[in-house]
């Protein structure tokens, strides 16, 4: 509905192109405006579709096998210790009591040769790092810029101390930093767990300031998790950096460190755990994971199985279509043989 | 209410507005508020504003408010700047008009002022070819007889010249006196009727003639007309500025909503309700989870004391999270696509008419889809189906049928002999042909005479008469007409013109033969208007037979007659006529009555037969359109026999053996109603193969509409063809209204001013820029040069537009639902707290950029080629019945988005579990999964790939990676280095391939099974196109395909009203 008609109605002579026989109003020809661009019109013919499914199947099955193989190459030791490390029934009381000795020793036997580096993870289950109240309770600016220490408005309820001094690093994420520690012995020999370079390099360089030191951290009435050494800048607090890269799912592993020594099969791995972190009050669980890595990452059979399933399905679809094509032959483009009744 | 205009009196200048013409909608000051207000009248915009405002509350917003404010602002700026640009152009053209220099008498002095400075009562001087600046009452011209000519094309579209005459009391004024006269014009308040002006004028001393002089439209010069063939003219300004008749008739047309649009609106509402339900459910579940479980999570530190609105927080968060279910971009995308469809129509060189040099034009860019869904075409006859190029072919004078051998009376030796031997009957007949009209002869400098006529028939008659040596040489303003017959000159004084109206169906003039002083009434008109008024004892039977015969040949007949008048009788009548002409109320009726009293006892002279040839390609076009399942009706002002004849000629109705014509007529009202019921019964019981049509005339329709609208509607819905003759413009519009109200999509096509109402009433109005001027073309949504282009307009442009809009709209919902379902699935693993899995940048770019470009490629898509569509026009049924955009197709898309959401989410969280489950990474994996699927979905649903399509679909895909790799370089963003990490992982690419295979595999398999084992007609035609290309025994294939398709499509048609047509069954309630 263009109400602008009057403007043309005012000047009827300008509109009448036929008053001048030399000018033609014929639209200029171009393949584009005439919608005549050369086009390719692939049809879903039986040949193409059967070939496509067969091809997908043929590609997916080997990829699936390779992935599955890679995943099986990974040696992984998972040891859940949350229940076994608390000797009493009142687990929450035990963990919240700062005076009790929370040392706990677990022993595992390595089933297969583990090639270094061996990743040491802590696994937490039932911890909602992706909860909206949690995930947004941080101040990225404060972590990066010295001058932004006061920017704690997003960090409620862990923004400022009672006397309005900004907490660095502020927010629930930092406040709930994981604080179990592991000491690893292989066959009784203390083995170094290297905690260097466990965080993303880009995080260390760009997201956590080199000149920002923790202050007022864990000084409030409630202590959440680990404390931080106030003389080390945030960019070197790698445990914090790892922790603050929040997990998307309530079950997650985070890198604790690496063992840079091979472990042989049947070796005994003894881990002394300082069991400080409270997963008991919300019914979560904790585990220690030792794992090697392959090109596909850690141990994850999902991709391999999914690929094999899809590849298999595609192959059987191709077969099925082929049989159908043979049995109920349709003359493509000659539809007279078809019955239309539904 | 009356308006008193004091001529040349500066003291009354302030009582009415000046002549500033303004067509603008906005001013500089009110643009922003008014435009915003207008935009916020739309439900969608209100909804998005609410969402955007809610996002300003940091507690509930899952992402940065920019995700909604940004797109919203873009949408607003786009529509506002379009409005502003249009308005600015209107302002410029107004300015041009307002600043023209016009000669005006001010304070007794004639001087040039700007057009906007003219006030009511001013005397305005115009020169030849000037545009008239405001509505004037003519008071003087350069012509000694007080005549001037105006071209009214801009006002009513009629290209012929009109004569305007000064009122009698101004007749003897000299040009000096004109500048000084004082007086008063008593006229109605401004209205938009360009055919009526019932007013009076009185002049004051010193020109003492205190008589009231009647004024009619013939004494006016209306704004935006042009003065022609007149050296100068002057008049009194009566209406100025926007109050002129042309100003008042400019209405802002209500924007039309297409059937596809209303379907989209309905789907939007459905999605909105679904969204509310989802939000309430998740909100409730979220609150329960928080109270039962969330409070135990020490690391969330829920305070013991919570604000009162706490229970609202989670539902509102979900509302914001789910707000993307309704795609914010759909309106912009669709508007853009519709603009392109309109451009395709404008640019189509196969719809260019070289004869009249007119390309097709779509004035309304918003309704192209409706073209593809047309169910009824209501067509005018004259000028639309026919060429409207009247040629005198035959005549019947005193028992002789001239021209029945050669088909051209002008070449009939008998007639030529009769003319040269001055057969008195023939001479009289020719005299009526030459005189009884309102034709203006214009003598050019080299002496040749051309005729300017308002009616094509009159022009044909005058031209034919001149070919038969009866030459109308001049007509001057005092009413003396000069006729030259066989070289000798005759003079007649035209005393009165009893004008033609569609009710009277005749026109007459009263002339005085100057030599003998005899008074004559010359009449011409439709046979049924003349025969009843013939003098008693007249042998009308033979004339009737002649009329019948000519009608059967498809010729337009006129009956000519004359009557000798006594001087006394005329004088007496003339007085009554004068009174009637002066009356202010009900003038037309009174005049008709007075005219009727004179038009009695007419001596019939003969019958003329004029041929109006069918336009090129009309029969083929109508056949094709009917084959496409469109019901074609003919609405004409012409008489029944001619209309039926034309109907037969142009394939509208089938001859007796295969078809049957049900006539609805009768002498009394009851007769008519009975024949209507009879027609209805026949229609119900008739065999399907038989081609039934009904015929009725204006009178019957009037009675039916009054007394039996319901059965008529039933009949109308069943009848594929109808011929309605003797229709007034209003009745044409009423018929359109009846069809529309019963839920059918109507297209009205016409060429003349009498079709404007029907064109405006119909869902789609098409105007033919024809010989009757541009009025219809201006009022229409589309204008074309010839009727035959309708086939391309509907079958090619309409169909493609509908298909494309169907895809674009449903795809827009699909991609929004996809991302929304992923959010919902994610919320189950984030403690129902309303965390957004995607970051703000991704969300915004997803809607505005990543997904809107590939979908636009569908505007180049063609499912089957134009040639195939024109070969199997039945395929239009698919768009006509709304097969591609309805609840079931939408349900399919809905299901697909749900399935794809599950695929993307489940694969992502399983492949990126444990140590890889970093929020940023997982979010980017899910997003890229969506983008991969998008590209394949568009590819699978595209039927033909052209360069721009391939470029846009896969270019967009590449652009996604480019953009995210670049964004990963920005250290301040949360997604810093994330994309680099991912692209280096083999598992990322393996995951993508998995998502695509799992997402597209079933879709492809289902599509294949349907294509091959239960194909739709579109699929079959696509296959035929391909196999035809390979040239496999074309002859054999042709026949079998033809019958199969016939079967297939008739089968479809039988099911038409069943469940497969949600759009159709709904549309009744929607309108």
- Of the listed ranges A66-80, B89-103, B194-208, the one predicted with least confidence: B194-208
Give pLDDT tens digits for B705-735: 888 888 899 888 888 899 998 887 788 888 9
Cross-chain residue pair A295–B911, CB shorter than 8 Å:
no
Minimum distance, in Å, between the CA of residue A14 and any CA atom of chain B: 11
Identify all chain B residues contacting A78, using CB atoms and an 8 Å cutoff.
Answer: none
Identify all chain B residues contacting A42, using CB atoms and an 8 Å cutoff.
Answer: 945
Q: Residue B382 corresponds to which tokens in the numbers above?
A: 């004259």
* B938 three-class SS: helix
* Phi-psi label, residue B647: left if phi above 0, alpha if psi -120 to 50, beta otherwise: alpha
In this complex, how many residue pairs, one in chain A and one in chain B, have their CB atoms less than 8 Å apart? 319
- Of the listed ranges B104-108, B166-170, B545-549, the one predicted with least confidence: B104-108
Count of helix runs (H) and strand runs (E) in chain B: 39, 33
When pLDDT is cut at 50, 70 and 90, the band that residue B1069 belongs to is very low
When pLDDT is cut at 50, 70 and 90, the band that residue B804 belongs to is very high
Give pLDDT tens digits for B294-320: 888 999 888 888 888 888 999 999 999
Of A44, A133, A338, the CB nearest to B300: A133
Cross-chain residue pair A317–B1005, CB shorter than 8 Å:
yes
Same domain, A267 and A119: yes
Q: Which of B22, B338, B773, B914 to mutate to test the interface with A (most CBs of A within 10 A)?
A: B914
Q: Residue B586 corresponds to which tokens in the numbers above?
A: 């009900």
Instruction: Give domain status of residue A3, yes or no.
Output: no
Say how many CA atoms lie within 13 Å of B670 toward its Cβ: 0
* B760 three-class SS: helix
Instruction: Give domain status of residue A7, yes or no.
Output: no
Same domain, A284 and A314: no
Task: Answer yes or no: is pLDDT of B539 > 90.
Answer: no
Task: Answer yes or no: is pLDDT of B209 > 80.
Answer: no
Q: Residue A14 corresponds to which tokens in the numbers above?
A: 């300008």
Of A37, A49, A246, the CB nearest to B860: A37
3-state helix, strand, coil in chain A (%, to 5): 35, 20, 50
Q: How many domains does chain A have?
A: 2
Sequence-distant (6+) residues with CB within 8 A of B679 are B662, B663, B664, B694, B715
Cross-chain residue pair A333–B1023, CB shorter than 8 Å:
yes
Sequence-distant (6+) residues with CB within 8 A of B398 are B425, B426, B606
Give pLDDT tens digits for B108-157: 788 888 888 888 888 898 988 888 889 999 988 887 777 888 877 666 65
Distance set, CA A154 to CA A139, A160, A166, B841 (Å): 6, 11, 12, 19
Same domain, A87 and A65: no
Tokens 């640019």 belong to: B347
When pLDDT is cut at 50, 70 and 90, the band that residue B868 belongs to is confident
Which H/E stretch holds residue B954? helix B947-967
Identify all chain B residues contacting A158, using CB atoms and an 8 Å cutoff.
Answer: 301
Minimum distance, in Å, between the CA of residue A132 and any CA atom of chain B: 5
Annotated binding site of B for Mg(2+): 380, 382, 751, 755
Distance (Å, rounded) from C-alpha B468 to C-alpha B420? 9
What pLDDT was estimated at residue A17? 39
Identify all chain A residues contacting B349, using CB atoms and an 8 Å cutoff.
Answer: 26-29, 34
Nearest of B415, B401, B511 to residue B467 by alpha carbon: B415
Cross-chain residue pair A336–B1041, CB shorter than 8 Å:
yes
Same domain, A166 and A306: no
Q: Residue B265 corresponds to which tokens in the numbers above?
A: 């609106």
Q: What is the 3-state secondary structure (H, E, C) of B693-758?
A: EEEEEHHHHHHHHHHCHHHHHHHHHHCCEEEEECCCHHHHHHHHHHHHHCCCCEEEEECCHHHHHH
Instruction: Give domain status of residue A96, yes or no.
Output: yes
Give pLDDT tens digits for B976-1023: 899 999 999 999 999 999 999 999 999 999 999 988 888 888 888 888
Nearest of B361, B337, B370 to residue B257 by alpha carbon: B370
Beta-ladder partners of B525: B506, B559
Cross-chain residue pair A3–B253, CB shorter than 8 Å:
yes
Minimum distance, in Å, between the CA of residue B1030 and any CA atom of chain A: 11
Minimum distance, in Å, between the CA of residue A328 and any CA atom of chain B: 9
Task: Answer yes or no: is pLDDT of B18 > 90.
Answer: no
Give pLDDT tens digits for B604-642: 999 999 888 888 899 999 999 998 889 999 998 777 877
**Size of chain B, expressed as the number of residues it contains:** 1071
Same domain, A54 and A174: no
Tokens 């071209």 belong to: B151
Cross-chain residue pair A202–B971, CB shorter than 8 Å:
yes
Cross-chain residue pair B93–A278, CB shorter than 8 Å:
no
What pLDDT was estimated at residue B129? 83
Instruction: Give domain status of residue A237, yes or no.
Output: yes
Residue of A nearest to B152 (CA): A12
Same domain, A84 and A226: yes
Cross-chain residue pair B986–A295, CB shorter than 8 Å:
yes
CB B114 within 8 A of CB B98: yes
- What does the mean pLDDT of chain B come to? 84
Identify all chain A residues contacting B833, using CB atoms and an 8 Å cutoff.
Answer: 128, 131-133
**Catalytic-labelled residue, pool B18, B143, B380, B496:** B380
Instruction: Give domain status of residue A138, yes or no.
Output: yes
Cross-chain residue pair A1–B1025, CB shorter than 8 Å:
no
Identify all chain B residues contacting A63, using CB atoms and an 8 Å cutoff.
Answer: 990, 993
Identify all chain A residues contacting B1040, using CB atoms and an 8 Å cutoff.
Answer: 334, 336
Percent of chain B past pLDDT 70, that is, above it, reads 92
Minimum distance, in Å, between the CA of residue A185 and any CA atom of chain B: 23
CB B885 within 8 A of CB B799: no
Of B224, B943, B948, the CB nearest to A41: B943
What pLDDT was estimated at residue B1044? 54
Task: Answer yes or no: is pLDDT of B103 > 80.
Answer: yes
User: Is the backbone peptide bond immediately before A157 cis, with ω within 30 degrees of 0?
Assistant: yes
What pLDDT was estimated at residue B551? 80
Identify all chain B residues contacting A148, using CB atoms and an 8 Å cutoff.
Answer: none
Neighbours of A190 (CB within 10 A): 11
What pLDDT was estimated at residue B984? 92
Instruction: Give domain status of residue A20, yes or no.
Output: no
In order, the DSSP letters of B594-636 are HHHHHS-SBEEEEEEEEEEEEPTTHHHHHHHHHHTT-EEEEE-
Tokens 């915009």 belong to: B45
Q: Which of A35, A292, A342 to mutate to test the interface with B (most CBs of B within 10 A)?
A: A35
What pLDDT was estimated at residue B689? 61
B918 in catalytic set: no
Q: Residue A245 corresponds to which tokens in the numbers above?
A: 């890269």
Report ipTM (2 d.p.). Answer: 0.91
Same domain, A287 and A310: no
Residue of B nearest to A139 (CA): B974
What pLDDT was estimated at residue B160? 62
Q: Which residue has the higher pLDDT, B655 or B832?
A: B832
When pLDDT is cut at 50, 70 and 90, the band that residue B766 belongs to is very high
Minimum distance, in Å, between the CA of residue A34 and any CA atom of chain B: 6
What pLDDT was estimated at residue B252? 55
Cross-chain residue pair B253–A132, CB shorter than 8 Å:
no
Distance set, CA B1064 to CA B259, B802, B1069 (Å): 9, 15, 10
Same domain, A58 and A79: no
Question: What number is the average pLDDT over the span B99-107?
Answer: 84
Say how many CA atoms lie within 13 Å of B19 toward its Cβ: 32
Of A12, A25, A321, the CB nearest to B154: A12
Q: What are phi and psi of B468, to 5 degrees?
A: -95, 30
Instruction: Give domain status of residue A17, yes or no.
Output: no
Same domain, A57 and A113: no
What pLDDT was estimated at residue B88? 86
Residue A158: which domain range? 75-293
Give pLDDT tens digits for B468-520: 888 888 887 677 888 888 888 889 998 888 887 767 888 999 999 888 889 99
Q: Which of B246, B256, B967, B1012 to mutate to test the interface with A (most CBs of A within 10 A)?
A: B1012
Q: Which residue has the higher pLDDT, B383 or B595?
A: B595
Cross-chain residue pair B998–A306, CB shorter than 8 Å:
yes
pTM of the shown model: 0.81
Distance (Å, rounded) from C-alpha B286 to C-alpha A251? 19
Cross-chain residue pair A53–B1001, CB shorter than 8 Å:
yes
Sequence-distant (6+) residues with CB within 8 A of A161 are A167, A216, A219, A220
Instruction: Give domain status of residue A25, yes or no.
Output: no
Cross-chain residue pair B352–A27, CB shorter than 8 Å:
yes
Identify all chain B residues contacting A308, using CB atoms and an 8 Å cutoff.
Answer: none
Same domain, A278 and A322: no
Q: Helices A302-327 & B986-1013, crossing angle to 10 degrees?
A: 20
Tokens 């192959």 belong to: A315
Q: Which residue has the higher pLDDT, B827 or B128?
A: B827
Annotated binding site of B: 380-382, 458, 500, 524, 556, 636-638, 726, 732, 751, 754-755
Same domain, A113 and A142: yes
Minimum distance, in Å, between the CA of residue B973 and any CA atom of chain A: 9
Give pLDDT tens digits for B224-238: 888 877 888 989 998
CB B367 within 8 A of CB B764: yes
Strands B361-362 and B555-565: unpaired
Ordered by where they begin, the domains of chain B are 118-250 (2.70.150.10), 329-343+803-1020 (no CATH), 352-385+614-794 (3.40.50.1000), 393-613 (3.40.1110.10)
Segments in chain A below pLDDT 50? 1-21, 337-342
Task: Answer yes or no: is pLDDT of B336 > 50.
Answer: yes
Same domain, A232 and A83: yes
């Amino acid at each position: 509905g263009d109400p602008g008609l009057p403007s043309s109605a005012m000047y009827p002579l300008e509109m009448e192109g036929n008053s001048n026989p030399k000018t033609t109003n014929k639209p200029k020809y171009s393949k584009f405006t005439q919608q005549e661009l050369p086009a390719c019109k692939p049809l879903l013919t039986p040949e193409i579709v059967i070939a496509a499914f067969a091809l997908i199947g043929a590609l997916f099955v080997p990829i699936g096998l390779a992935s599955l193989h890679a995943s099986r190459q990974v040696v992984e030791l998972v040891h859940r210790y949350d229940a076994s490390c608390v000797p009493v029934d009142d687990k929450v009381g035990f963990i919240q009591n700062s005076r009790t000795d929370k040392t706990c020793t677990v022993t595992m036997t390595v089933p297969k040769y583990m090639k270094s580096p061996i990743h040491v993870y802590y696994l937490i289950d039932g911890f909602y790092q992706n909860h909206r109240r949690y995930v947004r309770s941080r101040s990225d600016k404060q972590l990066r810029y010295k001058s932004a220490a006061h920017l704690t408005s997003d960090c409620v309820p862990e923004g400022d101390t009672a006397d309005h001094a900004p907490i660095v690093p502020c927010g629930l994420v930092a406040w709930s930093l994981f604080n179990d520690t592991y000491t690893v012995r292989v066959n009784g020999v203390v083995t170094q767990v290297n905690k260097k370079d466990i965080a993303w390099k880009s995080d260390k360089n760009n997201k956590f300031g080199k000149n920002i030191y923790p202050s007022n951290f864990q000084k409030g009435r409630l202590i959440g998790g680990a404390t931080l050494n106030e003389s080390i800048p945030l960019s070197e607090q790698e445990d914090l950096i790892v922790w603050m890269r929040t997990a998307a799912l309530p079950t997650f592993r985070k890198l604790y460190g690496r063992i840079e020594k091979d472990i042989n099969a049947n070796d005994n791995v003894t881990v002394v755990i300082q069991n400080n972190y409270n997963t008991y009050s919300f019914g979560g669980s904790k585990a220690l994971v030792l794992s090697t890595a392959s090109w596909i990452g850690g141990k994850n059979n999902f991709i391999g199985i999914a690929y094999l399933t899809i590849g298999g399905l595609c192959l059987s679809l191709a077969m099925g279509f082929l049989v159908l094509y043979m049995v109920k032959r349709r003359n493509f483009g000659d539809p007279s043989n078809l019955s239309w009744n539904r | 209410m009356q308006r008193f205009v004091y001529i040349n009196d500066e003291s009354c200048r302030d009582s009415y507005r000046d002549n500033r013409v303004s067509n603008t909608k906005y001013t500089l000051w009110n643009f922003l508020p008014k435009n915003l207000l207008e935009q916020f009248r739309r439900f969608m915009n209100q909804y998005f504003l609410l969402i955007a405002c809610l996002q300003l509350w940091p507690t509930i917003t899952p992402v940065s408010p920019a995700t909604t404010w940004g797109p919203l602002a873009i949408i607003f700026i786009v529509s506002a700047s379009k409005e502003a640009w249009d308005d600015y152009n209107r302002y410029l053209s107004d300015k041009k008009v307002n600043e023209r220099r016009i000669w005006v008498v001010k304070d007794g002095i004639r001087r040039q002022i700007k057009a906007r400075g003219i006030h009511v009562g001013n005397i305005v001087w115009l020169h030849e070819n000037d545009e008239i600046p405001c509505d004037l009452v003519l008071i003087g011209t350069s012509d000694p007889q007080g005549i001037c000519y105006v071209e009214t094309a801009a006002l009513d579209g009629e290209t012929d010249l009109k004569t305007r005459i000064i009122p009698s009391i101004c007749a003897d004024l000299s040009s000096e006196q004109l500048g000084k006269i004082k007086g008063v014009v008593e006229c109605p308040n401004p209205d938009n009727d360009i055919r009526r002006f019932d007013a009076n004028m009185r002049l004051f001393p010193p020109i003492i003639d205190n008589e009231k002089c009647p004024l009619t439209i013939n004494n006016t010069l209306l704004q935006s007309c042009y003065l022609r063939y007149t050296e100068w003219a002057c008049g009194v300004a009566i209406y100025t500025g926007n109050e002129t008749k042309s100003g008042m008739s400019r209405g802002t047309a209500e924007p039309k909503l297409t059937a596809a649009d209303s379907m989209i609106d309905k789907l939007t509402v459905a999605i909105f309700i679904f969204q509310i339900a989802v939000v309430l459910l998740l909100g409730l579940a979220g609150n329960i989870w928080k109270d039962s479980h969330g409070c135990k999570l020490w690391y969330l530190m829920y305070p013991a004391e919570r604000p009162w609105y706490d229970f609202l927080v989670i539902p509102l968060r979900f509302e914001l999270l789910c707000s993307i279910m309704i795609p914010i971009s759909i309106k912009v995308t669709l508007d853009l696509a519709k603009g392109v469809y309109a451009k395709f129509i404008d640019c189509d060189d196969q719809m260019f008419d070289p004869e009249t040099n007119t390309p097709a034009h779509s004035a309304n860019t918003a309704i192209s889809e409706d073209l593809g869904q047309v169910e009824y075409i209501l067509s005018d006859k004259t000028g639309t189906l026919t060429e409207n190029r009247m040629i005198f072919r035959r005549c019947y004078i005193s028992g002789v049928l001239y021209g029945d051998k050669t088909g051209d009376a002008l070449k009939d030796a008998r007639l030529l002999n009769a003319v040269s031997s001055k057969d008195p009957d023939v001479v009289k007949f020719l005299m009526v042909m030459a005189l009884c009209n309102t034709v203006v002869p214009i003598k050019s400098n080299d002496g040749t005479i051309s005729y300017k006529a308002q009616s094509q028939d009159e022009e044909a008659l005058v031209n034919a008469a001149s070919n038969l040596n009866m030459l109308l040489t001049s007509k001057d303003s005092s009413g003396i007409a000069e006729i030259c017959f066989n070289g000798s000159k005759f003079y007649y004084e035209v005393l009165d013109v009893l004008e033609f109206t569609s009710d009277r169906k005749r026109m007459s003039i009263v002339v005085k033969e100057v030599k003998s002083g005899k008074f004559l009434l010359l009449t011409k008109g439709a046979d049924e208007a003349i025969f009843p008024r013939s003098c008693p004892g007249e042998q009308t039977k033979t004339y009737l037979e002649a009329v019948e015969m000519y009608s059967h040949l498809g010729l337009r007949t006129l009956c000519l007659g004359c009557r000798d008048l006594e001087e006394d009788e005329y004088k007496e009548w003339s007085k009554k006529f004068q009174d009637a002409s002066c009356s202010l109320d009900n003038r037309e009726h009174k005049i008709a009555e007075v005219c009727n009293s004179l038009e009695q006892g007419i001596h019939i002279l003969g019958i003329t037969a004029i041929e109006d040839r069918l336009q090129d390609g009309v029969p083929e076009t109508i056949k094709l359109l009917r084959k496409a399942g469109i019901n074609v009706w003919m609405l004409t002002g012409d008489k029944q026999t001619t209309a039926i004849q034309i109907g037969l000629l142009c394939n509208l109705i089938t001859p007796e053996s295969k078809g049957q014509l049900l006539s609805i007529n009768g002498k009394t009202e009851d007769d008519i109603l009975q024949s209507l019921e009879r027609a209805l019964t026949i229609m119900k019981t008739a065999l399907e193969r038989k081609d039934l049509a009904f015929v009725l005339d204006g009178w019957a329709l009037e009675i039916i509409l009054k007394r039996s609208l319901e059965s008529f509607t039933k009949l109308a819905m069943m009848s594929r063809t109808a011929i309605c003759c003797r229709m007034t413009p209003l009745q044409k519009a009423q018929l359109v209204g009846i069809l529309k109200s019963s839920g059918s999509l109507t297209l009205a096509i016409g060429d003349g001013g009498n079709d404007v109402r029907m064109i405006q009433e119909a869902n789609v109005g098409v105007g033919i820029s024809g010989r009757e001027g541009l009025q219809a073309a201006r009022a229409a949504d589309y204008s074309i040069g010839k009727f035959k282009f309708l086939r391309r307009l509907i079958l090619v442009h309409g169909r493609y537009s509908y298909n494309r809009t169907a895809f674009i709209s449903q795809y827009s919902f699909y991609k929004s639902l996809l991302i929304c379902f992923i959010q919902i699935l994610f919320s189950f693993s984030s403690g129902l707290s309303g965390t957004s899995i995607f970051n703000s940048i991704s969300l915004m770019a997803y809607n505005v950029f990543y997904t809107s470009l590939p979908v636009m490629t569908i505007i180049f898509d063609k499912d089957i080629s134009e040639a195939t569509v024109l070969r199997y026009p039945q395929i239009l049924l698919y768009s006509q019945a709304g097969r591609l955009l309805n609840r079931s197709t939408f349900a399919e898309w809905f299901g697909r988005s749900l399935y794809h959401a599950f695929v993307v989410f489940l694969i992502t969280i399983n492949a990126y579990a444990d140590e890889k489950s970093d929020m940023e990474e997982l979010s980017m994996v899910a997003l890229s999964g969506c983008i991969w699927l998008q590209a394949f979905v568009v590819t699978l649903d595209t039927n033909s790939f052209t360069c721009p399509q391939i470029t846009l679909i896969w270019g967009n895909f590449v652009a996604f990676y480019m953009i995210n790799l670049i964004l990963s370089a920005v250290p301040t963003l949360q997604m810093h280095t994330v994309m680099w990490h991912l692209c280096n992982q083999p598992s990322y690419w393996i995951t993508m391939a998995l998502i695509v295979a799992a997402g597209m595999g079933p879709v492809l398999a289902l599509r294949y099974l349907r294509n091959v084992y239960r194909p739709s007609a579109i699929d079959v035609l696509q296959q035929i196109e391909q196999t035809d290309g390979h040239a496999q025994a074309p002859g054999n294939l042709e026949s079998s395909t033809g019958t199969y398709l016939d079967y297939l499509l008739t089968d479809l048609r039988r099911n038409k009203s069943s469940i497969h047509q949600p759009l159709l069954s709904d549309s009744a309630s929607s309108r």
